[in-house]
Amino acid sequence: MKLYIDTDHIVSELDELAGFSDAPAPAVTRIVFSPADLQARAWLKEKCAAAGLGVREDAVGNCFARWAGTDPSLPAVASGSHIDAIPHSGRFDGTVGVVGMLEAMRALQAAGFRPRRSIELIHFTSEEPTRFGLGCLGSRLLSGSLAAERAAALKDTHGATLDEVREAAGFTGGLESVALPPNRYHAFVELHIEQGPLLERTQVPLGVVTAIAAPATLDIAVQGEGGHAGGVLMPYRRDALAAAAEIVLAVEAAAKSTGAIDTVGTVGICEVFPGAVNSVPSQVRITADVRDVQLERRNAVLAAIGERCQAVAASRRVTVTCDVLNADAPAECSVLVMGALEAACRELEVAYRSMVSRAYHDSLFMARIAPTAMLFIPCRDGVSHRPDEFATPEDIARGTLVLAHALARLAG
């Protein structure tokens, strides 16, 4: 089947989508349920309707755009990703998988393809943890991996609950209605930029993902004693930020201590109170992001960080709490779906390689309810979550073409 991917159309749609942002170009900031996010959602729904797809949204704002198959009784084939973007990031993370899937469906329609199984584009709500502290909110709820009550009570950085924010954005109904029955989907595929340098470094244009690393997030609070920066002499201090600094270095050391290149540890948030130059910090909140493709190794790092927290608390006479916000299992990708992607690459005579995903994605949770795999395209210098994130139109079009052929195989 000869498919035509309209590269210019994809590029112009990605440009339009990047325009819905709270940061000046080339940066993109699109926080879930912000006005920019709601504008982007409306734009996407219009595009899906224009492609003749049946569009529905669930109580948390996951959006489903369906191309009805000739046998609607069969579980559908789905593909998609996210369009929310962390502060001051790039325009390709997530969006390539949403706009690319839309174009893949349009190309199949234009070629006269008639899917037996329905084909569905999914736009997942809140893949990024920015607003509610927990990533993949939409896919966690879809896969039954997050209890509705816990989700409803999540608070954003302004103290508003997920329920308050989503209802204000027009998404109503109980969150328990979001979970999908098992076997809803025959297969799920996600097209995404690699967010790493491997494909570019090895000069292979496509990656078929075999496994997705296991992410975990720790919320660490340090309570010391404040005071005047001149009046409190060093022997009497219980400086919360100095204690937190030891913990930040402990996160790095724990990740390095496994000796495995697949173990990573990051402290990306550090909030200091009262935050005055001449006041000894009394409270600090830091978050640690720990990942590894191997669950046991990841959990050993979490345990080591917890121990160090208590050792620092004792040595500096501060109190430290270390709460696990999430500690997710890794995902193995499906032989069926990887096979469809590899067969599509061979049919199109496009080189590909197997690889793991070090970033997490909605696929991490979709893999719990459907055979799932991912298709990576290169990103320049492996850069992501930065304004200079970049993927070439050729790479995006190639990934879209392979996705379309794989969908035809899976839905045929």
Query: Is the distance from CB of 283 to CB of 221 less than 8 angstroms?
Result: yes
Closest alpha carbon to 220 in 350, 120, 307: 307
Q: What are phi and psi of 236, to 5 degrees?
A: -105, 10
Q: Rounded to whole angstroms, how far apart are CA atoms 152 and 147?
A: 9
- x/- binding map, residues 93-132, to Mn ion, per CB under 5 A? xx--------------------------------------
Which of the stretches 55-63, 99-107, 127-135, 230-238 binds ligand HGY when contact is defined by CB under 6 A?
A: 127-135
CB of 342 to ligand HGY, least distance (A): 24
Please identify, using beta-carbon distances, which residue of 162 and 345 lies nearer to ligand HGY: 162
Shortest separation between residue 49's beta carbon and ligand HGY, angstroms: 28
Of 360-379, binders to ligand HGY (CB under 6 A) are 360
127 makes contact with ligand HGY (CB under 6 A)? yes
Closer residue to ligand HGY, CB minimum distance, 135 or 378: 135
For residue 193, which of 289, 95, 123, 107 has the smallest C-alpha distance?
95
Q: Which of residues 283-312 bind Mn ion (CB under 5 A)?
A: none
Residue 373 CA to residue 228 CA, distance in Å, equals 56
Name 285's bridge partners: 221, 271
- Burial annotation 206-228 (CB, 10 A radius, 16+ → b, else e): bbbbbbbbbbbbbebbbbbbbbe
- C-beta closer to ligand HGY: residue 130 or 283: 130
Interface map 135-154 toward ligand HGY (x if CB under 6 A): x-------------------
Please state, in angstroms and rounded to a whole number, the distance separating the CA atoms of residues 102 and 92.
15
Please report whether residue 391 would count as binding ligand HGY according to CB under 6 A. Answer: no
Q: Is residue 120 within 8 Å of residue 127, measured between CB atoms?
A: no
Q: Which residue is nearest to ligand HGY (CB)?
A: 359
Residue 23, helix vs strand vs coil: coil
Question: How many residues of this chain interact with ligand HGY, rule: CB under 6 A?
Answer: 5
What type of residue is 98? V
Site for Mn ion in 45-104 (CB under 5 A): 93-94
- Least separation in angstroms between residue 200's CB and ligand HGY is 18
Cis link prior to 197 (omega < 30° from 0)?
no
Contact of residue 360 among ligand HGY, Mn ion, none (CB under 5-8 Å per partner type)? ligand HGY
Q: Which token pair is 74?
A: 């069969």
Tell whether residue 359 is a contact of ligand HGY (CB under 6 A): yes
- Residue closer to ligand HGY by CB (options 312, 359) is 359
Give the nearest distance from C-beta 176 to ligand HGY in angstroms: 25
Tokens 């025959």 belong to residue: 186
Examine residue 215 and tell whether it contacts Mn ion (CB under 5 A). Answer: no
Cβ-proximal residues to 378 (8 Å cutoff; 6+ apart), any chain: 193, 194, 199, 200, 205, 391, 392, 395
Minimum CB distance to ligand HGY smaller for 135 or for 265: 135
Q: Which residues bind ligand HGY (CB under 6 A)?
A: 127-128, 135, 359-360
Q: Which residues bind Mn ion (CB under 5 A)?
A: 93-94
